[in-house]
Structure 1
Amino acid sequence: MTILFHYSLVNLALMLLDLAVIVRIMLRPHRDPASRIAWIVVVTLLPVLGILAYLLFGEVSIGRRRVERLRAVLAGLPKIHADGAAVILERQENLFRLGQSISGFQPVGGNKARLLADSNATIDAMVADIDAAKDHVHLLFYIWLPDNNGRKVIEALKRAAARGVTCRAMADDLGSRSLIRSAHWQDMRQAGVRVANGLPIGNPLVRPFMGRIDLRNHRKIVVIDDRITYCGSQNCADPEFLVKAKYAPWVDAVMRFEGPIARQNQVLFASDWMSRIDEDLGELLRRPPPVPASDGFPAQVIGTGPTVRFSAMPEMFEAALFAARREVVISTPYYVPDETLQIALCTTAYRGIDTTIIFPARNDSWIVSAASRSYYASLLEAGVKIHEYVGGLLHTKSLTIDGEVTLIGSANMDRRSFDLNYENNILLFDPTVTAAMRQRQMEYIAGSKPVSKEAVAAWPIYRQLWHNSVATVGPLL
C-alpha cells in the first residue's frame, strides 16, 4: 500500500510538472503555433525526457545576465548616421527601410566592393590588409581553425600587434574550441593580440540552466582601420575544412568592402566585444566615419540574433523576395524555413518571377538534408528551379534580385539562423557588384544537377516518409 501511495504521488508530481511546462510553452512569447504544438506533444508523450529536452532546447535565451549586459552596451554605444548619399531606386526603398528597422543602420552611400575569387584568396586578402593596417584590426569568426589559413591570420595579427597596431580577435567558444584551447590562442595573447571567446560555455552541466548552450555567435566580421570590412559565409579555415573533411571542399563567397559601411560592421563587432570584455570602444565609434567614394554604392549592415527582434531574418528574406520584379537567385546550404518563408518563395515563382535556389547535394547535417528535401515538391510545383551543387559543400549564403541588389553574409535559410544564431549580412544596391555575385551563382549552377518534379515524385515512399518525418520536428529545432 505504501509503495502504491508513493507511486501515485510520483505520478501526480509528474503530471503537475508536465502541466506547468505546458503552461510555460503556451505563455512563451514569439513562438509559432506549430512549435507550441510540437513541444506539447513531446512533453506529453515523453514526460521526463520531454521536459528535460524543453529545458535544454525549448527556449531561446542566452541568459538573463548576458541579455542585461548586451542591452546596456547597446544603449551606451554612440549612434552613427549615414553621411554618404544613398541613392536607391524607389522600388527597393521598402527593403532597405526594413533593414534599418532591424539593426538601426541607415543605408549609407559611397562604398566599393569586390567579390573575392575563393576561400584561399579571401584569407590572402585579409592577411594583406592586416599587414597594411595602421591603427586597428578587429576579427570575429564562428569557426576559426588552427589549420593553414587559420595560422596565416594568426601570424598576421601577431605581426600587426608587434608594429603597435591594436588587434582584437574574437571567436565563438563552441565553434572555435579547438583554437581557443590550443597554444596558438595563448601565443596571440602573449604577442599583444587582445583575444576573447564569444558566448563561453563554461561548465556544460550548468550552462543549460543559465541559457541555451547551442545559441552561438555565427558572425564573420573583419574590420581594418575603420575603412575596410569583409562580409560573407567563410569561416577562418582552409576549404578542406578538416573538422568535416569528407564534405570538402567547402565553397564560400566573401566580399571585401571599403567605405562607410565598415563603420556599421564596426558597431556590430563593438557590441559583441563589449558584451564580453570590459573595454569601452565608444571613442573609436565617435571618430569621423570613412569618407564616401563619389562613385560608390549604397549598402546596409543587417545584424540579427536571439536578442534582436523576433523573426527579423526571415522578414528580410521575404521582403527581398517580394521586392523582385524579374529574377531571384539564392544559394544556401541549410533550408529549413518557417511557413511564411516557404510560402513567400512559392509565391515569388507563382507571380512569374524567375526563381532559382541552389543547395549542396551533400550536406554536413543529415537532419537539414532530409528536412529541406521535404519542401522540394511544393517549390517545384510553384515553378522554383532547384539545383544541387556537386562540387563540394556549397556554403555560400547569397541572394540576388533583378541583377541590382545583393544580400550576402552569414545567415542561412533555416530556423537556427532565424532564432538561435547571431548573424551579420550586408544588403547592397549596385548592378556591377551584383553582376559579379550573379556570375558566381551561375558557376554554382553549372556545377550542379537540376532537380525535376518527376525525379522528386519518383522518390520511394520510405524516402518521402523520412524527409517529411524529419521536417515535422523542424519546429523543435
Structure 2
Amino acid sequence: MTADDWWKIALGVGFGIDLVIRVLSVIIIPRNRRPQTAMAWLLAIFFLPFVGILLFLLFGSRRLPKKRRLKQREINDYILDTTEGFDDVSHDHPWLDPVVELNRTLGAMPLVGGNTAKLFGEPVSSLAAMTEAIDGAKKYVHAEFYIFAHDKTTAPFFDALENAVKRGLHVRVLLDHVAGLRTKDYYRTVRRFNRMGVDWHLMLPIQPLQGKWQRPDLRNHRKILVVDGTVAFTGSQNIIDPSYNKRGNIKRGLQWKDLMVRFEGPIVAGINALFVTDWYSETDELLLRETSDVPRPKLTNALDAQVVPSGPGFAGENNLRLFNSLLYMAQERIMISSPYFVPDESMLYAITTAAQKGIQVDLFVSEIGDQPLVYHAQRSYYEALLKAGVHIWLYRSPTVLHSKFFTIDDEVAVIGSSNMDMRSFSLNLEISVMVHGRSFVEDLRGIEAEYRSKSRELSLDEWMERPLPARVLDNVARLTAAVQ
C-alpha cells in the first residue's frame, strides 16, 4: 500500500470522525440546555470540531458528582427540622407569598421573622465588624469564603480566628480550591491555617489523584461568617485586600467596593444551615444543631428574611427564578447592583419589560472591568437596556463596584454573593437572602444614593457612537458567555 493510499485512508477516517462528532453534537448538546447555550457549543464544535468537543467534555456538564447531589437532598430535610422563627413572620405581604413558596420548593429554606440587619458598605468597616464578632465568640466560628488570603489587610481577621482557637472554640473554615490557587498568597494562607489550628477544608477541590473531580469551573462562590449561631454575615466580600493583591490591579489603582450585611435573629440558623451543607459535602461530617441560649426579644421593626441557596447541586436555577419572579412583581422601581451583569434571555425580558411598563429601573455597574470577556459580554446588553428605558449608571474608575444586591419597590431586597450572570445562575454555588422590610430597603436606598453620587449615567446617544471594533468585541464576548 502506497503512501498516497495511507493518506487517503487517514483523510477518510478523519472525515468520518468529524461527521460523527457533528451529528452526535446536534443530538446530544441541545438536551436540557438553553437554546443560546446549546447554539454556542454547537458553533464552537462546528468551527473547531476536535477542540470544541474536548472543551465540551471538560466543561459541558454543570452537574456536580452524584454523591454531592445526594448529600444536598439529604441535608434539605435537616434544614427543615432545624428552623425557627416561623411564628414571628409578619403576614402583611400576600403578594410575596408565591415567591416565598417558590423559594421553599427550590431550596428548602423557609421565611422567618424577628430579624435585624446592618449594612457595611466599605471593605475596611465590614472586615473590622467581622473581626469584632469573632473576638466576641463564645462557642464556635464558621467561616466560608470564596477567597481567603492572609495579607496586611486581613491579618487582624486571621488573628481573631487564632485567638478563638486558643480560647478553646471550634473554628471551622471553608475556602474554594481553584479561587484560592489563583491568589498570590494561597500557600502562605494555608500554612497560616495550619499553624492556627483551625479545622479547614477546600471546597470543590480539583484533586484527581484523590478521586476528587468535577467540571473545573464549578465553584463555591459563597461568603458566610456565623458566630455562635447568633450573628451571621454575608454579601459580596472575600477575605482579601481590596486590590486582590494583584500587581496589575495595584498598578492601575483598582480597589474593590463591597457590601456586607450583619444579621441577627432566626435567619442566622438558615445561613448556618448552608454552611453545614457545604461542610457536610466536603468532610462527610454532619454537624449537630448547636442551639443558642441567648433570648430573642420581640422587635417592633423586625425583618422577615429567607435564605435562597443556589448552584449545580439543585435541579433548578434557584437564584434566577427568584430574581425573575420579583422583577415581574415590581410596581414602582427596581434598583440593581451587579459587578458582572450578563443576563440570560428570560432576565433580559423581565428587566426590559419592567422599564417599558414605566417602572423606574436603575442598573449600577462598573465603568471598568477586571475580567475582559465578562466585561465585554456585559456591554453587549447595554443597547437593548437603554432603548427599553433602563438607566445605566457607571461607577467611576478606578473602583470596581463589587456589590451584589437589588431592591423591588420599597418592600423587598435581595443581597448575597450572586452576580446577575449566567455563571452565578448555573455554575457557582451562591447564597442569596431575600429580605422583606421597609427599613432595610431604606438603608439600601442610602447605599444607592452614594453609588449615584460617584457614578455617571450612560446615555443611548453616547453608547451608539462607540467605535465599530468595540461593538464587534462586545458581541463576540456575548457568545462566549453562553457556553456553559
What TM-score does the superposition give when structure 1 sets the normalisation length?
0.93
8 Å CA contact retained: 1:99, 1:316: yes
Kindly provide the amino acid, as one letter, of the partner of residue 42 in structure 2: I
* 1:252 to partner: Cα distance: 0.6
Tell me which of 204, 213, 222 is aligned to 1:219. 222
Once structures 1 and 2 are overlaid, which stretch shifts more, 296-305 or 308-317?
308-317
Which residues of 2 match residues 11-160 of structure 1 at below 5 A? 11-27=15-31, 29=32, 31-74=33-76, 79-81=81-83, 82-87=85-90, 88-160=92-164
The alignment's C-alpha RMSD in Å is 2.3
Tell me which of 350, 353, 356 is aligned to 1:347. 353
1:314 aligns with 2:327: no
Give me the whole-angstrom Cα distance separating, in 2, the residues matched to 1:235 and 1:338: 26
Once structures 1 and 2 are overlaid, which stretch shifts more, 211-220 or 370-379?
370-379
**Which residue of structure 1 aligns with residue 475 of structure 2?**
468
Give me the whole-angstrom Cα distance separating, in 2, the residues matched to 1:120 and 1:170: 22
The runs of 4+ residues in structure 1 deviating greater than 4 Å are 72-78, 178-181, 203-207, 286-290
CA 1:46–1:184 in 2, change beyond 3 Å: closer, same or farther? closer
CA 1:42–1:328 in 2, change beyond 3 Å: closer, same or farther? same
Give me the whole-angstrom Cα distance separating, in 2, the residues matched to 1:67 and 1:277: 14
Give me the whole-angstrom Cα distance separating, in 2, the residues matched to 1:264 and 1:14: 50
Q: Percent identity?
A: 31
CA 1:368–1:289 in 2, change beyond 3 Å: closer, same or farther? farther
Give me the whole-angstrom Cα distance separating, in 1, the residues matched to 2:319 and 2:294: 27
1:192 aligns with 2:197: yes
**Which residue of structure 1 aligns with residue 235 of structure 2?**
232
8 Å CA contact retained: 1:22, 1:43: no
Give me the whole-angstrom Cα distance separating, in 1, the residues matched to 2:294 and 2:308: 18
Give me the whole-angstrom Cα distance separating, in 2, the residues matched to 1:189 and 1:289: 32
1:421 aligns with 2:428: yes
8 Å CA contact retained: 1:123, 1:153: yes
* Counterpart secondary structure, 1:275: helix
Q: What per-residue deviation string (whole Å, max 9, x for no partner) do you get for residues 85-129 of structure 1?
A: 211422332332322222111110000111124111111111111
Aligned residues: 472
Which residues of 2 match residues 151-300 of structure 1 at below 5 A? 151-177=155-181, 178=183, 181-203=186-208, 210-243=213-246, 244-245=249-250, 246=252, 248-284=254-290, 291=296, 293-295=298-300, 296-300=302-306
What TM-score does the superposition give when structure 2 sets the normalisation length?
0.92
Kindly provide the amino acid, as one letter, of the partner of residue 138 in structure 1: H
Once structures 1 and 2 are overlaid, which stretch shifts more, 369-378 or 266-275?
369-378
* 1:71 to partner: Cα distance: 3.8
Q: What per-residue deviation string (whole Å, max 9, x for no partner) do you get for residues 337-367 of structure 1?
A: 1101001000111111111001000011111
* Counterpart secondary structure, 1:133: coil
Give me the whole-angstrom Cα distance separating, in 2, the residues matched to 1:140 and 1:231: 10
* Counterpart secondary structure, 1:328: strand
* Counterpart secondary structure, 1:152: helix
* Counterpart secondary structure, 1:473: helix
Once structures 1 and 2 are overlaid, which stretch shifts more, 159-168 or 463-472?
463-472
* 1:231 to partner: Cα distance: 1.6
